[in-house]
Amino acid sequence: MTERLAGKVVLVTGGTSGIGEAVARRVVAEGVAVVVGARRAEAGRALVAELGERAVFVRADVTVEADAEALVAAAVRELGRLDVAVNNAGTVTAGGPVQGIDADAWAADLASNLTSVFYGLKHQIPALTEGGSIVNNASIGATTGIPGMSPYVAAKHGVIGLTRSVALECAARGVRVNALVTGNVDTPLYRGLLHAGPDDDLGEAPNPSQRTAAPAEIAAFVAFLLSDEARFITGAALPIDGGATAG
């Protein structure tokens, strides 16, 4: 595997499962030192023990600004600096028709899927030098409506607007910010939405490719976006969704 990211320091939020875990594994394989941020301390410590001395775990709830700030501080303190970041943390709290969603559930989805990204960008941007890159996970909920998931969709739409605005603010100093429009990916969150167990066959996915992606496929694209090979890409919302948003 190429080591186009060799020597860099990356921060990954939501890094103990699904896409976040896959990204952490991929970037370490490409020669990166990584700070993994997540709420599940036991899983986080187990992951970094497996990844080796180039990995650091910090327990963090990125809906809390102080925790988002602490992740950046840990990267600088433990690994010397911060070069790139992946804001991946997010979940689905509220479900069902909009008239049945209460204010607390609405606020929880916005906090976990949008405000967390804002906190991340706010504290990551000042730490990055020229050539820095940030990837925000927006999902296909950022570009299409999904009935029964209006708070999640509203938050993810916000991630794209936030990504584009911050990318314009940072472009002149050589810092890039992009968003992923991820489709059907075999993560614990996706299986939970389908009420599927960890070993259940997911069958054909509702996209033109008729399949569900492995998290490692998303991680490979993230590694490209973080690298200097993608240095002319910024402010973009990039679908990686088996064609789901093409038509």
Model confidence over 160-204: pLDDT tens digits? 999 999 999 999 999 999 999 998 878 777 777 767 788 777 777
Beta strand pairing status for 133-137 and 237-240?
unpaired
Residues whose CB is less than 8 angstroms from the CB of residue 107 and which lie 6 or more positions away in sequence, other chains included: none
Its CATH class, for the domain covering 9-240, is alpha beta
pLDDT bracket for residue 91 (50, 70, 90): confident
The amino acid at residue 97 is: P
Percent residues over pLDDT 90 in the chain:
74
**Residue 194, pLDDT score:** 66
6-60 per-position pLDDT tens digit: 889 999 999 998 999 999 999 999 999 999 999 999 999 999 999 999 899 999 9
Report the catalytic residues. Answer: 152
% helix / strand / coil in the chain, to the nearest 5? 45, 15, 40
Dihedral-angle region of residue 161 (phi above 0 means left; psi in -120 to 50 means alpha; beta otherwise): alpha
Query: What pLDDT sits at residue 129?
Result: 85
The domain limits of the chain are 9-240
203 Cβ contact partners less than 8 Å away, ≥ 6 residues apart? none
* CA 25 – CA 215 distance, rounded (Å): 11
Q: Report how far residue 30's alpha carbon sits from residue 2's, in angstroms, rounded to the nearest whole number.
A: 6
What do you get for the CA distance between the two ends of the chain, in Å? 34
Whether this prediction's pTM lies above 0.85 is answered by yes
